[in-house]
Amino acid sequence: MSKTSIAVLPFRNLSRDAENEYLSEGLSEEIIHALTRVEGLKVTSRRSSFYFKDKDLPLSEIARELKVAVILEGSIRLAGDTLRVSAQLIKADEDYQFWSESWDRKLANIFEVQDEISLLIADRLREQFGHLEFGDQLVFPATTNLSAYEHDLKARFHFNKWNAQDARLAIENWEEALKLDAQQPNTHIGLADAYGFLATTQAMDYQEAWGKAVAHTQEALKLDPNAAGAHYQLANISFFTEADYQASFQHALKTVECDPSYPEGLQFLAFMYLLYGESELADRYLKRALDRDPLNQETLFYQSYYFYRIADYARSESILNSLLERNPQNLPALVTRAYVWFKLKKYSAIQKFLEQEKEHITPGDYLGLKALWLFETQSAEAPAVQAQLEAEAQEPLAFQQHSYLYLLYVAQGQADQAFEWLDKSLEIKSAILLLSFSDPLAEALRSDSRFGLFHSKIYGKLPREKQKSSKQALMDESTEQQFRDELLKLMVEEEPYLNPQLTLRSLSSQLQLHPNQLSWLLNESFGKNFNEFVNTYRINTFKQLALDPSNSHISLLGLAYESGFNSKTVFNTSFKKETGLTPKAFVNQHQA
């Protein structure tokens, strides 16, 4: 677990109006987005952090589940046009709150509040745990129109419920936001995502929904060519509507280039590498996605799919079972588990699945899975169902039927028919075959001499990733030595550590250095974070004061406060870490 890692739990809504829940969730989400701009800080994604909403669990357990060292929790209270925000940082393993603050602001100033909170959090984390780099601003609001922003928050609140009804409510709110401010790329991205969701869940006409998704994605890119979310939408559009693996892959790479911590982009790249057959590269990106988003159901599904693709069927089945316990109607999990059962030859489980889950999967999936099951169990009904599958597969948009007919031909050992069907499907750009061509259920074709040719036709040459340039030091050696000497001189002559309100920013101002440079200097030249560095001077001052007989009438805690400490817990913890003794034991040892 990285010590510079944080999860932002959903802020509690303490307002009288329960409908202000969207505002508390929105503030939490904006802080998450802002903190992802802090270089060197691992920030758990919204979807995993929000999993613990309304769950009464110890913070140490939440941190362990999310694999983070620090938890940020807080609350908002809206009264009229006045907003009170409270926030606390807790070191999870010690259940120790090392920072808290409250703000009273006008709702109209919410963007400034978000930036102020995010910068303060980043400052306190840097002081507590070590070097982090970030700019002087972390929140860049897409709109300054407060009403448009409120509609955007409400839209996200609904869309994150992941059902067709709420997706439509999200669309209504995003459309209202656009009427108030048409220059919002994130609003267009949200609309594209919602229409794509309605298309893939068959809750809206396929071509109409994808058409709207494409239009809004293009609008988003006009407003912000480097919007990671827009490139992620293009990756999906290229894959599902154009069956263009190369274009989809390039857009996925661009997504992660624009935002290296974008979970959807990371897991999509893992998925693309899996289809190509590059499981090691897939594993690398999947681990990055899981590191950022460990409890997200979609990311966990990709993990189960990874294990399915590398033939670890038992682990895949275990994860899928867990996903379906939480959401019995998880369509991708239901279908993929059936695939796993085919590989494990659990035909009775498939039979039961087909009897019980017909209403929860698409008609195409039901027909295709039934055709495969009837063939594998040598049922007399198999020819009739295959004939129905072949008839339905003639429709250009019957993507599931296209896939299952291919898999059925492979299962039957009819390689010629399988390749003929691949050719036809390629002509009509059936996107589903990007998935099915290299599926484990079609592994019998891999030994066929034609497999390599079709692999090239479908996937092309694996796109190359851009090499990252090595990071440069913030100072050259001579400048580092100069400011190291100036810092040590300042600490001795000016004794700034005696000020309990000293921060990294105020100390850097005295040195006329940028805070990022001072943070780097402390980390690289002294091997310490800000608090460790400053508290060393405070401890040495305490030692001198405590061993001076003239101070015998002052309590040890009083002497600690005179040395610059402002917290009993921090003083005792720092002292024991530095000396291996409690303050009292140290004094007794030296007075004996």
Q: How far are the Cα atoms of 66, 277, 278, 304, 408 from residue 450, in angstroms, in the given order?
A: 46, 16, 20, 29, 18
Coil, strand, or helix at residue 437?
coil
* Residue 216 pLDDT greater than 80, yes or no: yes
Tokens 């979310």 correspond to what residue?
229
- Summary mean pLDDT of the chain: 91
Q: What is the pLDDT of residue 470?
A: 60
Give the type of residue at 144: T
Report whether 129 contacts 91 (CB < 8 A).
no
* Cα–Cα dist 189/218, whole Å: 9
pLDDT class of 477 with cuts at 50, 70, 90 = confident
| Sign of the CA dihedral running 532, 537, 541, 547 | positive
- Which of 553, 487, 494 has its CA nearest to residue 523? 487
Q: pLDDT tens, 355-392? A: 998 888 889 999 999 999 999 999 999 999 999 999 99
pLDDT of residue 1: 65
d(CA 531, CA 67) in angstroms, rounded, equals 23
Overall average pLDDT of the 452-468 stretch: 85
101 phi, psi to nearest 5 deg: -160, 160
* pTM tops 0.75, yes or no: yes
Q: Please, are residues 520 and 475 in contact by the beta-carbon 8 Å criterion? A: yes
State the average pLDDT over residues 400-424: 95
Torsion of CA 109, 115, 121, 125, to 10 degrees: -170
DSSP code, position 395: S
Residue 139: pLDDT band (50, 70, 90) is confident
For range 559-586, the mean pLDDT: 92
Q: Give the contacts of 549 (CB within 8 A, at least 6 positions apart).
A: none
Q: Within 10 A of 461 (CB to CB), how many other CB atoms are there?
A: 8
- Average the pLDDT over 310-325 and give the result: 96
- Of the candidates 142, 83, 164, the one whose C-alpha atom is nearest the C-alpha of residue 117 is 83
Q: Is the pLDDT of residue 36 over 80?
A: yes
Average pLDDT for 1-30: 87
Q: Which of 156-160, 347-351, 453-457 has the lowest mean pLDDT?
A: 156-160
What tokens were used for 151? 């509609």
SS in 3 state form for 245-308? HHHHHHHHHHHHHHCCCCHHHHHHHHHHHHHHCCHHHHHHHHHHHHHHCCCCHHHHHHHHHHHH
Specify the pLDDT at position 157. Answer: 84
> Region 484-499: what's the mean pLDDT?
94
Instruction: Find the range with the poorest average confidence among 264-273, 337-346, 475-484, 505-514.
Output: 475-484
SS3 244: coil
The per-residue pLDDT for 414 is 97
pLDDT at 471: 67
Task: Give residue 221's pLDDT.
Answer: 96
DSSP code per residue over 443-481 = GGGGGSTTHHHHHHHHH-SPPPPPPPPPPPPSS-HHHHH
Statement: residue 218 has pLDDT above 80: yes
What are the phi and psi torsion angles at 403 (to 5°)?
A: -65, -50
**pLDDT of 520-558, one tens digit each?**
999 888 889 999 999 999 999 999 999 999 998 999 999
Give the pLDDT score at 211.
Answer: 95
Q: Domains of the chain by range and CATH? A: 5-141 (3.40.50.10610), 362-462 (no CATH), 477-591 (1.10.10.60)
User: How far is C-alpha 453 from the geometric centre of its chain's CA atoms?
Assistant: 37
CA-based nearest residue to 342, from 317, 310, 315, 307 = 317
Structure tokens at 282: 């897939």
DSSP 107: G
374 Rama sector, left if φ>0, alpha if ψ -120 to 50, beta otherwise: alpha
- The total of other beta-carbon atoms located within 10 Å of residue 380's CB is 7
Q: Given pLDDT bands bounded at 50, 70 and 90, which one contains residue 108?
A: confident
pLDDT score for 592 = 60
Kindly state the percentage of the chain with pLDDT values over 90: 66
**Reported confidence tier of residue 254, pLDDT bands at 50, 70, 90:** very high
Higher pLDDT, 110 or 123: 123
pLDDT at 94: 85
Instruction: Give the span between the Cα atoms of 252 and 98, in whole angstroms.
Output: 39
> What is the pLDDT, as a whole number, of residue 355?
94
**Count of all residues that appear for the chain in the document:** 592
